[in-house]
Structure formats: structure tokens, C-alpha cells
Structure 1
Amino acid sequence: IIDLDTNGFEILKYDGDIHDEFNDNSETQQHYYEEITSVLKKRLGASRVIIYNHITRYRGPPRPADQCDLSHRNPVFYPHVDYDPPAAHFKVKQMLGEEVATRVMQKRCQIINVWRPLGPNPIMNTPLTICDYRSLDLDNDLHVSEIRNSLVTIALYIISHNSQDAQK
């Protein structure tokens, strides 16, 4: 059985109403967020779920950078982990403020990505790849990549092939 706590990911059936792409700040987006919040609360026993953004990945050939924005991006073609622990703490503080974040992080707090296809056609050319985190050699497979801006430097992990492991 695959589950979030054991494997670092989980596959759930989506029984909601939203199957097509939607515009930011639309009624459809709000309805979708409510559905996802409900699913996460039920599955995780969470008392609070905060959706802080969504990204629609383009299908087909990559688009030039000037055709991408914060909500519409090209697929990422390398395995990665979006947040290292300090970046995750920064994101929680950014979303909740220092005082509330400090209180929340004394309990269990998770950043969870929800991925699913939207639109009329199945994703054939850039499918999502997932990896059981237990299969990673943390010392040899994960490499820090820093993202810097004028306010903060955060890190994500790039996952690379481990030539010392015949199974990978």
C-alpha cells in the first residue's frame, strides 16, 4: 500500500467536478480549491488547509519565457523536491506571519503538492514522475539548488542519478 507518510506521496481518486483548466480568481478556481481542501482535510485529519497557489503546466512544446507567468509554466524535466526544510519554514512564515507560524510549526505542518491533469486530453508527452523517498540516498542523490531574490534565498533539491546504486 502506498501512502503519504510511508512513501512521501499518495495516489487518490478525484471525484470532484472540475476537469478543465480554469482562470485565476474565478468561481471555478474557488470551487476547485474548496474541493481540494475538503479532500485534504478528510484524508489527513487536518484542522486547517491553506492553498497558496496553483500552477498550470503547459502541454506540448515548451513555450518561450515571455509566454509563462507565475500560474502558467513549462513542465520541469528533472526530478526535484520543491522545498528543503528551511524553505518550507520560510513559506509557512510567509503565509501565516511569524507569530502564527511559530505556533503552527510546533505541531505537524506539511506542504503538500496536489497534481492532476486538467483539460480534455490526457498528458502523454510530459507525464508526472513520482519517487518513493525511501529509495533516495540523501547523501548522494540530493543536491541543493538555491533560488535567490532580493528578499530571500531558498533552496530546493535536485535529484540526480546515483552511479553507486545499481537499482537506480
Structure 2
Amino acid sequence: MSVRGSAPDGLKSISSSVLRRTLGWVYKAKRTTHEMSTTTTVKTTEYDKIVKLEEPNAVQTNLWYLKPGFTAKPTFVSVTVPGVFESSNVEHEAYPHEITDVRGHERLFSLDKSGFEFVQDPIPDELIQQIRNNEDEEIEKKYYPKIEELLKKHTNADRVFIFDHTVRRRIPKYASDGRGPVGARQPATRVHVDQAPSAGIGRVKRHLPDEAEELLKGRVQIINVWRPLVGPIEDHPLAVADYRSVKPEDLVATDLLYPGHTGEVYSVLYNPEHKWYYKSSQQNDEVILIKCFDTKTDRARVTPHTAIKDPTSPENPRLRESIEIRALVFHTQDRD
């Protein structure tokens, strides 16, 4: 059984350090940025050459990046709790950018090269409906094993541990930054990475404490598996940025607040060199694998991503619903 976060049950579960962060504080250290080196000398041809599609289909839309000029460490509230978790010192601003459609070119992208991969994975309509109904017991019993096998197949991992899942559905009356009441999470329209390196290592220690020391001797990844639930997607599709177009200074460590726990993610500063992709009219059997962490240093290690407003969407689109699985992926024999 996976270890998953619980809904807030009152102020007593919230540590004083977390409360201080919700009120804002001066970040005394230098701004923490992405410290993982990009690939410049290892397997250059295989891992460093950014894909250029011939005659690509693309759309222009706004991407919401971290607003520069902050004086405190960026802090984002994951779940709103009236009177406690309502505000954040993270500000974003919109930048127009081109998003390229990968349909027909999916095989040009992979987890180790670009940081993301598009794969086919059909599941029964009955299971789709159970996911849409938030039937957590059925999701963990039926959906988790399918995703474990999918990840093993596509990464050659020998072990997968799913630690979390989130069902998102767009409800226009709620915030458009991904927050919402428990059970009503919105598509996240800010550019971000789900795990900073400290959080990636921390996940292993937190969820598998008795085995963490040994597991961390081998290669460890965190991979998200994102799937539409009401395909074809007509509203707020998911866009992903090619890791090879992201510079270390573009990534800014950001606290992610939960009651009683603080994680760390990456916010992203705008860079016009970023290469963004999405899959048009994505169906329920078309999933995206998104790498959020990797202990390997000579290939893609993180993937900035965000929901986008698609200018080609119909006037009254079917509102987006999706599920994302977050999993620790272990290669216990890969110890290079």
C-alpha cells in the first residue's frame, strides 16, 4: 500500500516552521537554483541534440513563469486551508510562447533525452469511470499495478513504488494555479517541476525508510504518468519542456507547503530558448511519462511542465479531467 498525504485536520497538525513560511520571511541564503549539470561531454549526440521537427504544427499561447525580482525564497501552498494555507509569496507572469504539437512525431522524444515520453496504454472504460469518481480503493487496487508494469516496461526498472496520485478537473470558479479544495484540484497553469533533488532523495527516505540506504546506491528516478480521463482533450492540455533547452539558472528551488510537511519543487524563470511540446486531442489511452528526478547526471533529469490554454479549443470545450501518478522508479543494479 502506498504512503499518501492526508487531508488537513486542524491547526494542531501544522508545525510552527510551516506557519512562519505562510506568513512570509526573508530568504537569507543566496537564491537556490538548479545545481544539476546539463549534459555537455557525455554521449553528446544521443542526449544533447534538441529535436527539430520539419513543418511542425504549433500554437501560440501564454505560459506562466515565476516572476523575477523576488526577495524571499519562493513558497507555494499546495492545498488551501481557510485561515492557514491561503496565500503564497510566489508570483507568476505570462510570457507568449510557441508550443509544438508532437502528434505523429512522438518517437522522437524519450525520458532520457527530452525528459518526457508519449506512450499508448489503453485501460477499461469502467476503470476510467472509477478514477473519475475518486474511488481511491479501486484506483490503488486496479490502476496502480497497471502503471507499475507500464513503468517497468518503458524504463527497464526492476522496482516501482507509487507514492501518490492526483485527479484534476477544471472547475472555473476555483483558482487557476492548480490549487483548490481537497478533491477539487485544478489543472496547474504555472510552469514548474514537481521535485527538486532534495525532495527526490527525501521521498525515498520518507516512503521506504528501512530500505532507503540500499536503494539509493542504485539509480533512482521519479516519474509522473499523466492521463486524460475525458479524451480527446479539448481544454487545458498538458505541455512539457525539453530538458535540453533548460539552463540551470532557469530553475529556482521553491518550498511546497503541506500541513505538517514542507517539500521542495522547482519554479521556472522564463527563457525564450525553452522548447515546449504538447499532444493535440490527447485520448484516454495516450499517456505522458514525465521525469521529475533522476540520480543519473549525464541525461535528462527534470521536466518543466504546465497546463496551457489552447487557442484552438472549441468555444465550449469539454472541461479537462486527468489523473497523474507519481512513482519512485528503481534500477537497483545500475550503480555507475
Instruction: Write the letter of the residue equivalent to 2:224.
Output: N
Residue 78 (structure 1) aligned with residue 185 (structure 2)? no
Identity of aligned residues (%): 34
Maintained 8 Å contact 2:179/2:188 = no
- Identify which of 228, 236, 261 aligns with 1:126: 236
Runs of 4+ in 1 over 4 A off after TM superposition: 64-67, 148-152, 165-168
1:46-72 deviation digits (Å, cap 9, x = unpaired): 111111111011124152699621x54
In structure 2, the residue matched to 1:9 is 116
Relative to structure 1, is the Cα distance of residues 31 and 132 closer, same or farther in structure 2, using a 3 angstrom cutoff?
same
SS at the partner of 1:116? strand
In structure 1, the residue matched to 2:43 is none
Q: Distance in 2 between matches of 1:166 and 1:39?
A: 29
C-alpha displacement of 1:19? 3.0
SS at the partner of 2:154? helix
SS at the partner of 1:57? strand
Q: Distance in 2 between matches of 1:30 and 1:52?
A: 13
C-alpha displacement of 1:11? 0.6
Q: Distance in 1 between matches of 2:214 and 2:166?
A: 28
Instruction: Write the letter of the residue equivalent to 1:160.
Output: L
In structure 2, the residue matched to 1:142 is 251
1:25-82 deviation digits (Å, cap 9, x = unpaired): 333542111111111111111111111111011124152699621x541111111101
In structure 1, the residue matched to 2:24 is none
Instruction: Write the letter of the residue equivalent to 1:85.
Output: P
After superposition, residues 14-163 of structure 1 pair within 5 angstroms as: 14-17=121-124, 18-20=127-129, 21-63=132-174, 68-69=181-182, 72-97=184-209, 99-119=210-230, 121-139=231-249, 141-148=250-257, 152-162=261-271
Maintained 8 Å contact 2:245/2:274 = no
Maintained 8 Å contact 1:62/1:74 = no
Maintained 8 Å contact 1:7/1:133 = yes
C-alpha displacement of 1:88? 0.7
Maintained 8 Å contact 1:92/1:101 = yes
Q: Distance in 1 between matches of 2:109 and 2:179?
A: 39
SS at the partner of 2:119? coil
Q: Distance in 1 between matches of 2:185 and 2:109?
A: 29
Q: Distance in 1 between matches of 2:120 and 2:145?
A: 16
SS at the partner of 2:202? helix
Q: Give the TM-score taking structure 2 as reference length.
A: 0.44
Maintained 8 Å contact 2:196/2:265 = yes
C-alpha displacement of 1:100? 0.7
Kindly indicate whether structure 1 or structure 2 has the higher relative contact order, using CA contacts under 8 Å at least 6 residues apart: 2
RMSD: 2.6
Q: Give the TM-score taking structure 1 as reference length.
A: 0.83
SS at the partner of 1:157? strand
Where in structure 1 are there 5+ consecutive unaligned residues?
A: none
Where in structure 2 are there 5+ consecutive unaligned residues?
A: 1-107, 277-336
Q: Distance in 2 between matches of 1:55 and 1:113?
A: 10
